[in-house]
Structure 1
Amino acid sequence: MTVTRLLSLPLLALAPLLLSACGDEATPEGGVPKGEALPAIAAPAGQSWTETVTITPEGGYLVGNPDAPLKLVEYASHTCSHCAEFARTGKEPLKSKYVASGVVSFEQREVFLNPYDVVIAGLAQCGTKEQFQPLSDQVWGNLESVFAGLQGNPQAVEAAGQLPINQRFAAIAEVTGLLEFFAARGISADQGRTCLTDQAKIEALVKTEEANRQKDKIEGTPTFFLNGQRIDGTTWDRLEPQLQRAGAR
């Protein structure tokens, strides 16, 4: 999907699709090699791996040891119910048990299934890099109410979708309640508007997503990679055994 096409998609046509927006489960491209248990790697003095955040060259937000021997990447959409399920059931054990040890890092990369994803990502990335994953988890943890806001005022959404790019996404955030949602979580309405009216920033965000999606052949969300290799499953009960097989304990 080109930048022009994504930024010009009609919002109303997408609204009924949000609840089924996620793609099929990822399929494996080969088994994860079995490895011996890897020893824990201590964080620098006074630091914690679960509070260490790095923005990667791919534009992802990585939590944990940047040099961890096991690098888990999730491609996720903020309007994906399967991504919400992983956030609800998998994030806490992933971070407290595996990321905290320094053996596993966890990187989240964007997938845009619709223009709402652009708005939400623009707001989630509007704060500090440490805020990004917690804000994403807040969206997934309140997905039902987020959907209600997205679908609650179709006429206003349609009108917002007709505005120029440098006004469109801030207007969508306003009429869908997303500005208010993020303001309650540390991103002020003025801060959010500033981020969403920065056309160059929005277009760069979309171009990065498009390049990553094409390079890694992403067809559904969530899709996971471990050390650059696509792995099977979208749920924590299927991912954890593969991390353990690769050496995480």
Structure 2
Amino acid sequence: MTRVCRLVAAALAITVPAGALVAKPAPKRAVAKVDWTRTFGTTSAGGYVVGNPKAKVQVIEYGSLTCPHCRHFAATAVKPLLANYVRTGKASYEFRTFVLNGIDLAATLVARCNGPAHFFPMADQLYATQPTWSGKVEKLSQADQDKLNALPQPQMMVSIAKTTGLLPIAASHGIPTAKAQQCLTSQAQADGLMQMIKGGEELGVQGTPTIFVNGKKVPAFDWASLEPFLKEAGS
């Protein structure tokens, strides 16, 4: 027997412990988690929504970009809502505009111009800097304010956007100035926002922010007052 054959025979003669040749299961691959804060849509009510469309908990805010209380809600409640509930798919968050004034209308027309994916980050910036840009119109002289109010609505919206600095903010969020001006002068867009106000009033909305959790209006004004309703709806 050649040396090679002797080595093979010796190998075959080795006693193999029971189960030693059983294949080990392949390690489980980590399932990629979906970040639902990157999923956007438009609802039948005209609102912009972020999150899992099949989420068990649905949060709707009727808000205004010039409302200080909405700014507070955005900072204290919306951020943790997105991080703790929307991101994981447990909840969705919809923003329905409830326009309060001309400045609000101009800001909303610009912010909504490129759809929900651009709206939410721009709205976040507008809330963070709200006193700065919204206050610029208030600082105009009475004569200049009178001139502004005398303009036809499309021209007024463009003038407000220029005065407040909304156009460069929009551009930083991927909304070119030419497109922003088209949205500002769109009667169809303005009519859609007025229709959203009407829909809110039919649901009992009288001011901003007004919050609904799974269709029920709730007294929520910050995270501490909102989260109990989220837990109850998701239980």
TM-score, with length taken from structure 2: 0.80
2:202 corresponds in structure 1 to 215
Q: Which amino acid aligns with 1:104?
A: A
8 Å contact kept, 1:157–1:175: no
8 Å contact kept, 1:157–1:172: no
* 1:182 matched to 2:170: yes
Distance 1:158 1:103 in 2: 48
Distance 2:84 2:107 in 1: 28
What is the DSSP-based 3-state SS (H/G/I as helix, E as strand, rest coil) of the residue aligned with 2:234? coil
* 1:116 matched to 2:103: yes
2:62 corresponds in structure 1 to 75
* 1:168 matched to 2:156: yes
2:94 corresponds in structure 1 to 107
Q: Which amino acid aligns with 2:125?
A: Q
8 Å contact kept, 1:161–1:172: no
RMSD (Å) for aligned C-alpha atoms: 2.0
Q: CA-to-partner distance for each residue in 1:88-108, whole Å, 9 max, x for gaps?
A: 122221112111221211111
Distance 1:176 1:168 in 2: 12
Q: Higher mean Cα deviation, 76-85 or 160-169?
A: 160-169
Deviation at residue 247 of structure 1 after TM alignment: 2.2
Unaligned runs of 5+ in 2: 1-30
Distance 2:187 2:193 in 1: 10
8 Å contact kept, 1:55–1:129: yes
Q: Higher mean Cα deviation, 55-64 or 111-120?
A: 111-120
Deviation at residue 195 of structure 1 after TM alignment: 0.8
* 1:243 matched to 2:230: yes
Unaligned runs of 5+ in 1: 1-43
8 Å contact kept, 1:157–1:176: no
1:29 corresponds in structure 2 to none
8 Å contact kept, 1:153–1:175: no
Number of aligned pairs? 204
What is the DSSP-based 3-state SS (H/G/I as helix, E as strand, rest coil) of the residue aligned with 1:107? strand
8 Å contact kept, 1:55–1:62: yes
Q: State how 1:7-156 maps to structure 2 within 5 Å.
A: 47-154=34-141, 155-156=143-144
Deviation at residue 213 of structure 1 after TM alignment: 2.0
Distance 1:124 1:88 in 2: 18
Distance 2:134 2:198 in 1: 27
What stretches of structure 1 move > 6 A for 4+ residues in a row?
A: none
* 1:201 matched to 2:189: yes
Distance 1:153 1:186 in 2: 29
Deviation at residue 114 of structure 1 after TM alignment: 1.1
Distance 2:164 2:146 in 1: 11
Larger-gyration structure (1/2): 2
